[in-house]
């Protein structure tokens, strides 16, 4: 016997505020999708139908439906304060912190390593190698220890992935 998903009931004001989030061009696409999940769930659609409409897995739909239901009571207190209500919705529908070790390098360190790689290397070098960049990074006191792989990742990615300290 198939399980039925728990119903989500929204007040008209809540539907309006979620619809505004869905139309927003200033928030993450993932938050827009999650807002759409809640709106469609409030229309009485089941997880399978919503997943087909939004091209997401039924498990994803179930996850966000459940997260909404678990946190809905705290939202009701702020329905008269639309700005505050939206902020709480953003927190409810946000990704939770992921497991894994935190970054070991600060953004400032990374911002020193990247220009170092753009500088002309010492006369005895024809070009920078990762190992030479490691030596120079440690020599200049940018980092106490760093691997050639990490330097390569910083230079290749084009994005800074520093610790969130």
pLDDT per residue of the chain (165 residues) written in tens, 0 to 9: 456 778 899 999 999 999 999 998 888 899 999 999 999 999 999 999 999 999 999 999 999 999 999 999 888 888 889 899 899 999 999 988 888 877 888 989 999 999 999 999 989 989 999 999 999 999 999 999 999 999 999 888 765 555 555
Does residue 30 sit in the same domain as residue 88? yes
83 and 41 within one domain: yes
The first and second tokens of residue 149, run together, are: 């792989």
Domain of 27 in residue numbering reads as 12-92
Please report how the helices 12-23 and 82-92 are oriented relative to each other, as an axis angle in degrees rounded to 10: 70
Distance CA 164, CA 162 (A): 6
What does the alpha-carbon distance between residue 32 and residue 20 come to, in Å, rounded to a whole number? 9
Per-residue model confidence (pLDDT) at position 158: 62
The confidence score (pLDDT) of residue 76 equals: 84
**Number of domains making up the chain:** 2
pTM for this one?
A: 0.62
Query: 145 φ, ψ to 5°?
Result: -155, 140
């Amino acid at each position: 016997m198939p399980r039925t998903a728990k119903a989500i009931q929204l007040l008209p004001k809540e539907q309006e505020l979620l619809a505004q989030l869905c139309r927003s061009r200033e928030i993450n696409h993932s938050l827009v999708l999650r807002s759409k999940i809640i709106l469609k769930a409030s229309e009485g659609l089941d997880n399978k139908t919503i997943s087909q409409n939004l091209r997401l897995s039924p498990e994803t739909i179930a996850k966000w439906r459940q997260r909404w239901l678990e946190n809905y009571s705290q939202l009701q207190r702020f329905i008269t304060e639309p700005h505050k209500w939206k902020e709480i919705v953003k927190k409810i529908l946000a990704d939770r912190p992921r497991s894994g070790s935190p970054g070991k390098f600060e953004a400032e360190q990374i911002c020193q390593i990247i220009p170092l790689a753009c500088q002309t290397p010492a006369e005895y070098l024809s070009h920078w190698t990762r190992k030479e960049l490691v030596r120079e990074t440690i020599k200049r006191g940018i980092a106490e220890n760093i691997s050639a792989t990490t330097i390569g990742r910083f230079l290749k990615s084009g994005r800074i992935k520093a610790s969130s300290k």
